[in-house]
Chain A
Amino acid sequence: VSNRKAPLIDENGQRILRAIARASAGNVALALSRLCGHDFEIREAGVRLLPLAAVPGRFGGEERPVSAIRTDLTGSVAGTLLLAIEPPSAASLVCRLVGRAPDSLDRLSPLQESALLETGNILAGAFCDALARDRDDAILISIPEIAIDMAASILQTPLIEQTDGGDEAVLIECVLAASSPAGPLTLHLMLIPAPDSVRRMIGPDALKAEQGMGGSSP
């Protein structure tokens, strides 16, 4: 039987993953504050086990337009990290970083695209700092890639690759928000860890024999 099935996680395992999510959110909030020059509020930091078809709902629905920056993690924790930003927030972030809002998110200039990619890179590093704590092996972060499309289209490949076409995915997430002079800013980071990495993060004692961990656990 494939060992890529979503692991079954007990209360202690969920507690460990929630602590990781909170620590990652704290790091990301700090990095964002430095990048943008104002404070960010942590709106959510938690862990969820969801059927694959339900995951686009986390980004507002299957056809909701999203700017997404993808990085892949390898090493002691493997998976895909997505930074999802809705178009108004992406425009506001670009304006904040390069001084001019894009005319259209579908036609970003190289400088504007580079600003979003660099944001993804910095936040992936901040998120992984908390993941790498207390681990001997490093976590390697791939070069970020950007796509602007429907939420379900963006999520499809990472979800399938990380679950190997399984039923459910474990999501470690944080949502951060701020008001800036250029408009409201909301950013959503979602780690889809490979099942083996979840097992490594929580340890073998926190795996359940038969039951899942339930729908959500923010």
Chain B
Amino acid sequence: MTGTLLVRMGEYAVADARDIAASLSVRGLGSCIALFLHEPVRQVGGMAHIMLPEPAPRSPLRSPARFAVTAVGILLDALERAGARRNLVTAKLCGGAHLFGWKERSPDRDTLGERNIEATLRALRDQSVPVLAMDVGGASGRSLVADVTSGAVTVRVYGGELRRV
């Protein structure tokens, strides 16, 4: 029997196909990013629920999974500790939505969701992790489940639409 490990705001988790919880999930994603890293041979995966591009100036760095600039590194380290080979790791990311309509009022200013997407992609590039798929942006919330065996991510957009990423 397999279960799902829920990854809340600012947290990260790693699971492999032999675990009781062989899938990782996020509920009610808005401007945050759910970053899923997967290693297909060892069948291990990790999810970070990223809240912001980087920590505020002069803030003590706690919970590095909260920030795009630190989440990718700690997730890669955790996958390696679980037996993953770093050169086989790929990424999928979801989220970065903008639910309230301010974008139309200030089109030149990036939303928090857009900044999170940009910063996460930059951090993945810096660590040479290829991005296989994305389901990002838009104006609707998402819930998702990532299967660490297959690497498939199923996204349910608010309103019921299901997408396989």
Please, which residues of chain B bring their CB within 8 A of the CB of A149? Answer: 30, 99, 140-141, 158
Option from B58, B99, B101 in Cβ contact (under 8 Å) with A2: B58
Q: Is B23 an interface residue (CB 8 A)?
A: no
Q: A130-146 vs B: 1/0 string, CB under 8 Å?
A: 00000000000001011
State the Cβ distance, A100 to closest chain B Cβ, in Å: 22
Q: A145-B102, A156-B30, A157-B99 are in contact. Are A106 and B159 (CB under 8 A)?
A: yes
Contact (Cβ within 8 A) B100 A70 = yes
Q: Is A11 an interface residue (CB 8 A)?
A: no
Q: B57-87 vs A: 1/0 string, CB under 8 Å?
A: 1111011001100000000000000000000
Please, which residues of chain A bring their CB within 8 A of the CB of B58? Answer: 1-2
Interface residue total, chain A, C-beta cutoff 8 A: 29
Contact (Cβ within 8 A) A2 B112 = no
Contact (Cβ within 8 A) B141 A164 = no
Contact (Cβ within 8 A) A153 B97 = yes
Main secondary structure of the interface of B (DSSP, over half): loop
Q: Is A171 an interface residue (CB 8 A)?
A: no
Q: A52-B10, A53-B9, A70-B100 are in contact. Are A156 and B56 (CB under 8 A)?
A: no
Please, which residues of chain A bring their CB within 8 A of the CB of B67? Answer: 165
Among A70, A149, A155, max chain B CB count under 10 A is at A149
Cα separation A2 to B52 with both chains bound (whole Å): 15
Q: Is A150 an interface residue (CB 8 A)?
A: yes
- List A166-208 residues whose CB lies under 8 Å from chain B: 167
Find the B residue at minimum CB distance from A65: B158
Q: B1-34 vs A: 1/0 string, CB under 8 Å?
A: 0000000111000000000000000011111100
Among B28, B97, B112, max chain A CB count under 10 A is at B28
Cα separation A199 to B109 with both chains bound (whole Å): 29
Q: Is B40 an interface residue (CB 8 A)?
A: no
Q: Is B51 an interface residue (CB 8 A)?
A: yes
State the Cβ distance, A163 to closest chain B Cβ, in Å: 9
Q: Is A88 an interface residue (CB 8 A)?
A: no
Contact (Cβ within 8 A) B28 A147 = no
Cα separation A112 to B155 with both chains bound (whole Å): 30
Contact (Cβ within 8 A) A154 B9 = no
State the Cβ distance, B67 to closest chain A Cβ, in Å: 7
Contact (Cβ within 8 A) A2 B100 = no
Contact (Cβ within 8 A) B30 A154 = yes
Q: Is A151 an interface residue (CB 8 A)?
A: yes
Contact (Cβ within 8 A) B66 A165 = yes
Please, which residues of chain A bring their CB within 8 A of the CB of B141? Answer: 149-150, 152-154
The 8 closest A-B CB pairs, nearest first, are: A152-B28, A153-B141, A156-B30, A153-B30, A145-B100, A62-B28, A147-B99, A2-B59
12 A-B contact pairs sorted by A residue (CB < 8 Å)? A1-B58, A2-B57, A70-B100, A149-B30, A152-B27, A153-B30, A153-B141, A156-B51, A157-B99, A157-B100, A165-B66, A167-B63
Report which B residues bind A (CB closer than 8 A). 8-10, 27-32, 51-52, 55-60, 62-63, 66-67, 97-102, 105, 112-113, 139-143, 158-159
